[in-house]
Amino acid sequence: MATRNALATARLSYRLLKPKLYRCSLMVWSRTYDHPTPMHRSAAVTGVFIAQLPATTTSLIATRSIKDRYGVSHSGFWVPTIGGGEEGWDGYAEYDTGGACGAGLPNVFWSASSGIYDDRCAADPAIDAYRLQTARPTAEQITVYNYLAGPVTFEFDFKSAKPPAAVRLVVGLQGGNGGNPAQLAPTLPNEEFTIVFP
């Protein structure tokens, strides 16, 4: 059953494998084109977190795959994250040496921001122009923006007496380049909201 709230749609399905173990599929679409302010429309869903989890000392989620609508795996670009009564995936990943490469070289050599993009934004040149572009800030660095056509499907095993009941979505890359193609980072803060499944 699909539940729509704010700027995304999520569909959760699951089956019980054995007592207290569910195999889950969470499909997420971006609906940012519905934002009333054009500057926010080119945003993307950059964080997907199973929310309202019971207190536990062990991980509830075992990620099986993260795939776009074409079946292409993007698992390596979504970082598993846990804490604060939720567990899920952050679309930001980087390679940070912590300064181990020596003076004159950056700590972060590459970074990738992945997010679920609304097809309607891609079809509207005036809105799509705000989308952030992959760039090389220095000769040693690259910043990648990975806009994924929805839905993106998160397949995972969930250890709990009950199936997941809610998902918190972070809408990032807000404002895109703000109308300046040379801008390399989002110009507006993230938005977030929670969808509770019936």
Domain boundaries of the chain, sorted by first residue: 2-196
Q: Three-class SS of residue 16? A: strand
Class of domain 2-196: mainly beta
Mean pLDDT, rounded, for 29-44? 92
Q: Look at residue 41 and give its three-state secondary structure.
A: helix
pLDDT in the model for residue 58: 62
How far is 182 from 135, CA to CA, in rounded Å?
Answer: 9
pLDDT single digits (tens) 142-180: 899 999 999 999 999 999 888 999 999 999 999 999 999
Angle at 24 (CA atoms; ends 6, 162), nearest 5 degrees? 90
The letter for the amino acid at 82 is I
Q: What is the pLDDT of residue 2?
A: 44
d(CA 71, CA 133): 23
**What is the C-alpha separation between 69 and 153, in angstroms, rounded?**
8
Confidence of residue 3 (pLDDT cuts 50, 70, 90): very low
Per-residue model confidence as pLDDT tens digits over 176-192: 999 998 898 999 999 99
Q: How far apart are CA 12 and CA 143, in angstroms?
A: 32
pTM: 0.90
Q: Which residue has the higher pLDDT, 140 or 92?
A: 92
Q: Using the structure block, give the residue that is written with the tokens 């939720």.
A: 86
d(CA 74, CA 84): 25
3-class secondary-structure state, position 38: helix
- At 93-148, the pLDDT tens digits run 988 877 777 777 777 788 899 999 999 999 999 999 999 999 988 888 889 999 99
Q: Is 57 a residue whose pLDDT tops 70?
A: no
Mean pLDDT of 7-28: 95
- How many Cβ atoms are within 10 Å of 160's Cβ, its own excluded? 16
Q: What is the pLDDT of residue 53?
A: 87
